[in-house]
Structures are given as structure tokens and as C-alpha cells.
Amino acid sequence: MDFTHLDDSRKPRMVDVSGKKPTERIATAECYVHLGLELIDRLNKNDWSSSKGPIFETAIIAGTLAAKKTADLIPFCHPLPLKDVKIDISQSDESKIRISARVKVLDQTGVEMEALTAVSVAALTIYDMCKSISHSISIESCRLVSKSGGKSDFRE
């Protein structure tokens, strides 16, 4: 299989999806942010707020905006009329949080990049809001969990 974003002369290009039938396409991505025990404990005591505001709510808004702006950030992504973006953030264990995004569109191309962009920017927002307390925060395992509605479905 060849890379779809290269033409026959190996020059970069946007994929032409004009011949595809619009279908409902859904993608889910996830990302983990390792905050550490001390920071998690501190944030739990402060109801997950910092001097910059409510951390999870701000990250959800940032991730949603990022999903809508993906075509402005990734050169060959098509601008898409997203129908739904759902972001969930929860503590996954004693030192990490999990961010998941589910993105839906009715279009000729998928929304994997929108879901991945949403969790990435939500994670970066959490980092930004917590960096005054700790710089040992790490963003880990950003990945596509599932996609459906296109030529081939995927589920990890």
C-alpha cells in the first residue's frame, strides 16, 4: 500500500475524496497524562481547579475547539463539518488521568485526526494549567482507539 498523501511523482497532496459517498464516520482516541501522586492529591483537594480555572472543563473546551480546527493545523486534513465532539477526562489511576475523545461527522472522509488532535490539545491544556506546580508532567500514549464508517473499520 502506498502513502495516500503522495501523488505518482511522490509530491505531497491532499487526497481527493470527491468521489466518495458521505457516510457517518466516528473516531475515538485517547491519551494519558501522568501527573504524579502529589499533584493528583493536590488537585483532588482543590476540586480539580487551579489559579487559571477549572482544569478538566477548560481542557474539554480546548480539545473541542482543536477538533474543529484540525484542518488549520494538519496540512492535508480536509475541513469537516463536525456533528459531535465528546471529550471525557477522568482519573485512570493514582497518578494518571485519561482523556478520550469521540468525534462524529457525516462526510466523505474520516475524523481520526480530529479525535487525535482533540485529546492532544486537551492534554497540553492540562499541562499548561498544572505546570506552575510541577514540570515533571508527561503526556503518554496518544492513540486511535477505534474508527468506523469508512472503507475499513478499526478497533484496538
Lookup result for grid cell 459531535: 84
Give backbone dihedrals phi and psi of 139, rounded to 5 degrees, phi first. -100, 125
Q: At 74, which amino acid appears?
A: I
Residue 46 CA to residue 11 CA, distance in Å, equals: 52
31: exposed, middle or buried (Cβ count in 10 Å: 0-12, 13-18, 19+) = buried
State yes or no: is 153 an active-site residue: no
Tell me: pLDDT of 153 over 90. no
User: CA separation (Å) from 91 to 48, 81, 88, 132?
Assistant: 11, 31, 10, 20
- The DSSP 8-state label assigned to residue 132 in this structure reads T
Q: Which residue has better confidence, 12 or 107?
A: 107
Quickly tell me which residue has 481520526 as its cell: 112
pLDDT surpassing 90 at residue 9:
no
Q: pLDDT tens digits for 62-120?
A: 999 999 999 999 999 999 999 999 999 999 999 999 999 999 999 999 999 999 999 99
Q: What is the pLDDT of residue 94?
A: 92
Catalytic one among 8, 16, 41, 128? 128
Per residue in 125-149, pLDDT (tens digit) is 999 999 988 889 999 999 999 999 9
Give the E-state strand segments of 19-137 in sequence order.
Answer: 23-34, 49-50, 53-54, 84-91, 96-107
What is the structure's pLDDT at 122? 98
Residue 5 has pLDDT above 60, yes or no: yes
**Cα gap 101→103, rounded to integer Å:** 6
What is the pLDDT at residue 71?
A: 97
Residue type, 13: R
Position 22 scores a pLDDT of 94
Q: What is the pTM of this model?
A: 0.91
> What pLDDT, in 10s, does the model give residues 15-60?
889 889 999 999 999 999 999 999 999 988 988 888 889 999 999 9
Distance in angstroms (rounded) separating the CA atoms of residues 62 and 123: 9
* pLDDT-derived band at 61, boundaries 50, 70, 90: very high
